[in-house]
Amino acid sequence: MEAHARIIDFEFADLLKLSGLTFKQLASILREKGINVSPAMLCMIKNGQKNSHPLKEQIKEILKEYIEQSKEEKEKEAIKFLTEAQRRMLSVLEATYEDREFALIVGPSGIGKTYIVEKFAEEHEGVVIYKVAKAMSLGDLLRELCKVLKLPEWGTNYQKFSRIKENLKGKKMLIVDEADLLADESPNKFLRKIEIFRELANVCAVVLVGLPELDEAIYANVKSYIYSRMGYYAYLKEPEPQELIKYCELKGIKNIRQVAGASIGRGYFRYIDKVAKRAKKIGEELALSIMYAGKR
């Protein structure tokens, strides 16, 4: 009897691996689509023993559809996924929005503060996001805020401030992101910048969002003056290990514990997002190898 050479269909093997399905699970999915193929037969197809099976190409197409649907479902889950810190932040934003208060939210870099700010703005009308830049003078700050609100940028600081204040009467909330960059070597200059937003809180809700350094600067320089006006406050903690692991799972990371562990202190969710993005183009192993790991 003549022996037949096995020619392994690597595409089929790769698709099966990507799907994460067992032969039994795949057979069950195929049955739902009216295709009766046993787990044993699927194993033989994978191993190259049934290369001429008439349904092989159709099964491969079903696997591709399953993988694509799984990716979409994971992306939806990732969007819905919120850590305890992010839920706390949303609660403060919601309360500040409803009560038109002045609030402060601080937390480490990479835990999703900007993501939550943008998500909140998308879901609520009348929310303006203003991102602070480093080393801004009071004049720079007012001019950039005029630009964000599409207002004329000419005139004195008082004239610019008056236009901003009048415009914000028609808004619900101003969120100042990366507000830790307002900190200044001169306590008086820092106080004047903070006073701007404290005053604007008389016409709409205002939230300062930034790193913990912002809270420290306020406490050290203007604590009684600002805290007496503060309606809501949140100091957000670092993500828990299980939250990082869950996020890695949702982003399709394979080396979950390695990536989750490496993300600690290196940007947390931002780090995981970068690995997931690069992995799609160059593979996870190479993506991990090019991530900055600190001083050697």
* pLDDT of 242: 96
* pLDDT of 219: 84
Q: Look at residue 5 and tell me whether its pLDDT is greater than 70.
A: no
Q: Look at residue 1 and tell me whether its pLDDT is greater than 90.
A: no
Share of the chain above pLDDT 70, in %: 92
Confidence of residue 8 (pLDDT cuts 50, 70, 90): low
Q: Look at residue 61 and tell me whether its pLDDT is greater than 50.
A: yes
Residues in the chain: 296
Give the right CATH number for 84-235 from 3.40.50.300, 3.90.700.10, 3.20.20.150, 3.30.70.1450: 3.40.50.300
State how far the Cα of 45 lies from the Cα of 40, in Å rounded to an integer: 9
Strand partners, 106: 210, 235
CA dihedral 127, 122, 215, 236 (to 10 degrees): 150
159-184 residue pLDDT tens: 999 999 999 999 999 999 999 999 88
190-234 residue pLDDT tens: 989 999 999 999 999 999 999 999 999 888 876 666 777 889 999
* pLDDT of 3: 47
Confidence of residue 11 (pLDDT cuts 50, 70, 90): confident
109-120 residue pLDDT tens: 999 999 999 999
Q: Look at residue 95 and tell me whether its pLDDT is greater than 60.
A: yes
The better pLDDT of the pair 118, 78 is held by 118
Confirm if 201 and 101 have CB atoms less than 8 A apart. Answer: yes
- Rounded mean pLDDT, 7-32: 84
State the Rg of the chain over Cα. Answer: 27
Q: What are phi and psi of 160, to 5 degrees?
A: -65, -45
Share of the chain above pLDDT 90, in %: 60
Q: Look at residue 189 and tell me whether its pLDDT is greater than 80.
A: yes
CA distances from 278 to 245, 265, 287 (A): 18, 20, 5
CA distances from 140 to 49, 144, 160, 182, 218 (A): 71, 6, 11, 11, 20
Spatial CB neighbours of 16, under 8 Å, sequence gap ≥ 6: 26, 46, 63
Q: What is the pTM of this model?
A: 0.74
Lowest mean pLDDT among 11-20, 32-41, 68-77, 215-224: 68-77
| DSSP of 100-121 | T-EEEEE--TTSSHHHHHHHHH
* pLDDT of 224: 61
Spatial CB neighbours of 268, under 8 Å, sequence gap ≥ 6: 108, 109, 110, 111, 112, 238, 239, 244
* pLDDT of 128: 97
State how far the Cα of 248 lies from the Cα of 48, in Å rounded to an integer: 34
Confidence of residue 67 (pLDDT cuts 50, 70, 90): confident
Lowest mean pLDDT among 4-8, 58-62, 154-158: 4-8
Domain locations in the chain as residue ranges: 10-80, 84-235, 241-289
Confirm if 175 and 90 have CB atoms less than 8 A apart. Answer: no
State how far the Cα of 152 lies from the Cα of 159, in Å rounded to an integer: 10
Report for 87-91, 224-228, 251-255: range of highest mean pLDDT: 87-91
